[in-house]
């Protein structure tokens, strides 16, 4: 029995390593975006910030956007207050006294029924009340660079696209959990860039996206996926990609990176990852499901293999070798990715984090499909 299981594990790890090598190849093929300094501000943007009980973060987020080096008459910032019970709305109202291009939309005025995805409804509601044709989304706990909007403008002028994914990274506060999240997240971001580069199975993150309003309406917005708690980013991206093949771009520039806060405790972190995993079976592209299944099965095998050591002591030796092989090829992929995000010093922790990463991948993947979780004070099934 243990030998059969070991053979399955070896085959899965081999396939996984081949996939990681492909990601490495595709990431290295990404062309660093070089904005044309002669291009003038041209595009109009509506920047959407869904927010629920974000009184500690919303001011810093909004100010980082409003202080961008882009003409204020060419963009508006709309905060979508998602039934906040703290001072989020009041803080935005105070800022409105200083900035005429800042708006507040309170979801409670538009929604009466209980939903499973308030974030999608927030974005949908704001888009219906937006003034401009290009939509940019970010999160209330994020900070952007002063060149953020200008880079989107330049990228749009130089590329014939309708949807743009852009990089995101966690802020490292030096705790063990923070370092773990930073490493886990830049691996996902590396795959995001690589997948867009290859056109294989596009990924993105809602903290840093841009798309044309007409493209959003052309695919009927979130219709068909609005019952899924997560997926305001990738599920929408795939709908637009099917309608506009070859029109998806990736803004590969360090100053386009959006910084966001890591989860403060393990419970919040697991709930976040369960939320992300909950959309895994909702992709129409079967290649994405197969990749996610491969990743899950590899981690499941590496989690279970040590428990078969009572059948043969050699099991532990083979388990260690498979773990070593997996870690080595992941590091090959992670090196250029971590360098781009300026977090290469964290790679010293990478091998130490492997057992924790395996456990959390299995747990969050299982609960994402069969469990429930709490997010923003709501229980989601």
pLDDT at position 260, please? 95
Longest CA–CA span in the chain (Å) reads 71
Taking the CA atoms of 367, 372, 375 and 380 in sequence, report the sign of the dihedral they define: positive
- Picking from 107, 103, 105, 122, the residue whose alpha carbon sits closest to that of residue 62 is 103
pLDDT at position 30, please? 92
pLDDT at position 352, please? 92
How is the chain split into domains, by residue range?
2-27+284-380, 32-266
pLDDT at position 129, please? 95
What's the angle, vertex CA 196, arms to CA 35 and CA 333, rounded to 5?
Answer: 100
Q: Beginning with the edge strand found earlier in the chain, give each strand of the sheet holding 258-260 in spatial order.
A: 142-143, 258-260, 168-170
CA 32 – CA 253 distance, rounded (Å): 6
134-137 vs 45-51, strand pairing mode:
parallel
Q: Give the CA radius of gyration of the chain.
A: 21
State whether residue 211 is helix, strand or coil. strand
Adjacent-strand bridge partners of 49? 79
3-state helix vs strand vs coil in the chain, percent to 5: 55, 10, 35
Tokens coding 25: 């190849």
Answer for the pair 201, 195: CB distance below 8 angstroms, yes or no.
yes
Task: Name the architecture of domain 32-266.
Answer: Alpha-Beta Complex (3.90)
> 373: how many CB neighbours lie within 10 A of its CB?
21
pLDDT at position 172, please? 93
pLDDT at position 272, please? 80
Taking the CA atoms of 275, 287, 8 and 1 in sequence, report the sign of the dihedral they define: positive
CA 145 – CA 151 distance, rounded (Å): 10
pLDDT at position 371, please? 64
pTM for the model stands at: 0.90
Where the chain has pLDDT below 50, the residues are none
Answer for the pair 35, 313: CB distance below 8 angstroms, yes or no.
no
Q: Beginning with the edge strand found earlier in the chain, give each strand of the sheet holding 209-212 in spatial order.
A: 102-106, 75-81, 45-51, 134-137, 209-212, 163-165, 248-250
């Amino acid at each position: 029995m243990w030998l059969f299981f070991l053979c399955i594990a070896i085959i899965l790890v081999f396939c996984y390593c081949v996939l990681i090598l492909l990601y490495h190849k595709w990431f290295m093929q990404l062309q660093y975006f070089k904005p044309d300094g002669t291009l003038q501000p041209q595009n109009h943007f509506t920047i959407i910030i869904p927010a629920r009980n974000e009184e500690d973060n919303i001011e810093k987020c909004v100010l980082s956007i409003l202080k961008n080096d882009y003409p204020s008459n060419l963009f508006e910032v709309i905060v979508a207050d998602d039934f906040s019970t703290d001072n989020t709305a009041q803080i935005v109202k105070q800022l409105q006294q200083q900035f005429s291009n800042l708006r507040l939309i309170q979801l409670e005025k538009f929604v009466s029924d209980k939903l499973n995805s308030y974030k999608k409804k927030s974005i949908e509601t704001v888009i219906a009340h937006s003034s401009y044709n290009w939509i940019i989304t970010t999160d209330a706990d994020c900070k952007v660079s002063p060149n953020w909007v200008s880079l989107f403008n330049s990228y749009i002028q130089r590329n014939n696209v309708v949807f743009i994914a852009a990089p995101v990274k966690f802020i490292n506060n030096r705790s063990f959990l923070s370092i773990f999240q930073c490493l886990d997240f830049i691996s996902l971001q590396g795959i995001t860039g690589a997948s867009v580069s290859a056109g294989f199975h596009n990924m993105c993150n809602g903290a840093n996206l841009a798309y044309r309003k007409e493209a959003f309406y052309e695919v009927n917005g979130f219709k068909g996926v609005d019952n899924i708690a997560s997926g305001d980013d990738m599920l929408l991206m795939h709908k637009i990609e099917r309608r506009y093949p070859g029109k998806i771009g990736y803004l590969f520039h360090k100053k386009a990176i959006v910084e966001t806060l890591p989860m403060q405790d393990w419970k919040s972190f697991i709930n976040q990852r369960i939320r992300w995993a909950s959309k895994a079976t909702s992709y129409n592209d079967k290649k994405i499901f197969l990749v996610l299944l491969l990743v899950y099965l590899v981690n499941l095998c590496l989690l279970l293999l040590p428990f078969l050591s009572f059948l043969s002591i050699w099991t532990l030796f083979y388990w260690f070798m498979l773990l070593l092989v997996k870690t080595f090829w992941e590091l090959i992929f992670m090196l250029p990715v971590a360098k781009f995000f300026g977090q290469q010093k964290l790679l010293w922790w990478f091998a130490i984090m492997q057992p924790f990463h395996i456990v959390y991948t299995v747990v969050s993947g299982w609960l994402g499909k069969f469990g429930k979780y709490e997010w923003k004070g709501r229980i989601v099934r």
